[in-house]
Amino acid sequence: MFNASLKQLSQQLAEKKISSVELTKEFLQRTRTLNPNYNAYITIDEAMSLAQAETADQMIAAGHASPLTGIPVAQKDIFCTKGWLTTCGSKMLSNFTSPYNASVIERFNRIGAVNVGKTNMDEFAMGSSNETSFYGPVRNPWDVAAVPGGSSGGSACVVAARMAPAATGTDTGGSIRQPAALCGISGIKPTYGLVSRYGMIAFASSLDQGGPMAKSTEDLALMLNVMVGFDERDSTSLQRETEDYSRDLDNPLTGLRIGLPKEYFAKGMSNDVAAAVERALDEYRKLGAEMVEVSLPNAPLSIPVYYVLAPAEASSNLSRFDGVRYGYRAKSYSDLSDMYRKSRAKGFGAEVKRRILIGTYVLSHGYYDAYYIQAQKIRRLIAQDFADAFKQCDIIMGPTTPTVAFNLGEKNNDPIQMYLSDIYTSAASLAGLPGMSIPVGFGNNNRPVGLHIIGNYFSEAQMLNVGHRYQLETDWHLRMPGV
């Protein structure tokens, strides 16, 4: 059951072979056993989960079920969830119980999905290893010495360790795709604007995008069907016709032109990753796809550009955490500015403070033009590179990460090395393009390797099709870590 697809679980629920309460209990039981080893959840509230499961069972009994009704879904702790502690992985919000639901949570609640817990994450989604969480690092289920990636490391871990059939994540520069790759699962960051950001605690508003994490692309499609939709409360939300992301899953890939950016197949990618990616590309050749070399000349600039723009927005987005209205406030202080200083100094961790400082600096008088404006210009060039590349190909592929999961503590003292984990993923974020990672085998130390698939705007259905056809031929996505 723990390895069953969402479709299979849904079918069992529909056929009353199992109730949502029973299913939820199974996953909660597994979580009770495994979570202490992995620290993947920040909050588990069995009573609240089971109450939702009961509601789901009533919906199913009343004939009001849709594909994810009654299915346990783990929610990244970045989504405000009414009545649940919502910490964003930070001490700053370690006492914050949300009085309202994020749009994404509302959408899952509406169709009767069951929230089985809030997953651990890098503090305010700033990190690539889950080590910046106030709640401690998450372990990679394939090897507890390894990081699960980040920032959606908790979500990647619960799916990989089968503590939940699916989970939500958010991605700013790779935070869905990189942990999906490192944990051997599938994850997609949709086109910017498809998933409402309302109630999703902001890191970098122009880049943040919610998306699903699951075992397979088939499951991702069902999750996307719930998550995507216009929201009038988010001004950057796109008003489009409703799509069924499952509709093209089985399409043949004959004649598919796969673009391989020469910049991504250059130095930097480790041999084990390169080998797994090559094998995956071979599989696609067998499926009838053809390979085209493309170029993204400005892509190598995406990390520096990202580390100007994301911190700039973050420095402003995180100003509301001031200890005045909610969240952590220092216990003693002498005056107002001392209260701000101490609350923020103690409430935020080192990486968050580093980014607030970088962001404040690049927005400061005299530096704004040199950094922020310059970075915005390059951001447009990066988007243009992709537009040019998509004239020659239908989809772009490459490695999701340069290496397999690294060890806990390995890059802690070297932020630049840590930032380079997102070297392949951040360009698509800057361009607002959808990006997906699927598992394509194992590299060094038997740690998973992810294939990065970048599509054109709104091509999610096609990307999922491309992933699904591969997963029909392979079983990497069905491999479970020995837990």
Partner 1 sequence: MQWEIVIGLEVHAQLSTQSKIFSGASIAYGAMPNTQACEVDLALPGVLPVLNKGVVERAIKFGLAVGAKINSPSIFARKNYFYPDLPKGYQISQYELPVVEGGCLRIQVDEVEKTVRLTRAHLEEDAGKSLHKDFHGMTGIDLNRAGTPLLEIVSEPDMRSSAEAVVYAKTLHSLVRWIGICDGNMQEGSFRCDANVSVRPKGSDKFGTRCEIKNLNSFRFMEKAIEFEVRRQIEILEDGGIVHQETRLYDPDRNETRSMRSKEEAHDYRYFPDPDLMPLEISEEWINQVELMLPELPEARRRRYVTAFDLSDYDAMVLTATREMADFFESAVKQLPSQAKLCANWIMGEVSGRLNKEGIEISDCPINPVQLATLLQRISDDTISGKMAKNVFDSMWRGEQDGNVDAIIENKGLKQISDSGEIEKLIDEILVANSQQVADYRSGKQKAFNSLVGQVMKATRGKANPAQVNTILKQKLS
Which residues does the annotation mark as catalytic?
A: 76, 151, 175
Amino acid, res. 176:
I
Q: Are 292 and 260 in contact (CB under 8 A)?
A: yes
Which CB atom, from 204 or from 301, has the smaller least distance to partner 1? 204
CB of 100 to partner 1, least distance (A): 5
CA 257/CA 240 separation, integer angstroms: 27
Q: Are 194 and 223 in contact (CB under 8 A)?
A: no
CA 398/CA 437 separation, integer angstroms: 10
Which CB atom, from 83 or from 252, has the smaller least distance to partner 1? 83
CB of 55 to partner 1, least distance (A): 24
Q: Which residue, 160, 206, 205, is CA-closest to 405?
A: 160
Q: What is the CA radius of gyration of the chain?
A: 21
Where do contacts with partner 1 occur on this chain (CB under 8 A)?
79-80, 86, 88, 93, 96, 98-100, 102, 197-202, 204-206, 232-236, 312-313, 315-316, 318-322, 324-326, 336-337, 340, 360, 363-365, 368, 372
Question: C-alpha 198: how far from its chain's center?
Answer: 16
3-state secondary structure 209-247: EEEEEECCHHHHHHHHHHHECCCCCCCCCCCCCCCCCCC
Q: Are 19 and 13 in contact (CB under 8 A)?
A: yes
CB of 320 to partner 1, least distance (A): 4
3-state secondary structure at position 478:
helix
Q: How many Å is the maximal CA-CA distance in the chain?
A: 70
- Which neighbouring-strand residues pair with 41? 119
Amino acid, res. 250:
D
Positive/negative CA dihedral, 339, 342, 347, 351 = positive
**Residue corresponding to tokens 């403070």:** 353
Which CB atom, from 218 or from 231, has the smaller least distance to partner 1? 231
CB of 306 to partner 1, least distance (A): 14
Q: How far apart are the first and last CA of the chain?
A: 15
H or E element, residue 115: strand 114-119
CB of 208 to partner 1, least distance (A): 9
- On the 0-12 / 13-18 / 19+ scale of CB atoms within 10 A, 326 is middle
CB of 366 to partner 1, least distance (A): 9
CB of 324 to partner 1, least distance (A): 5
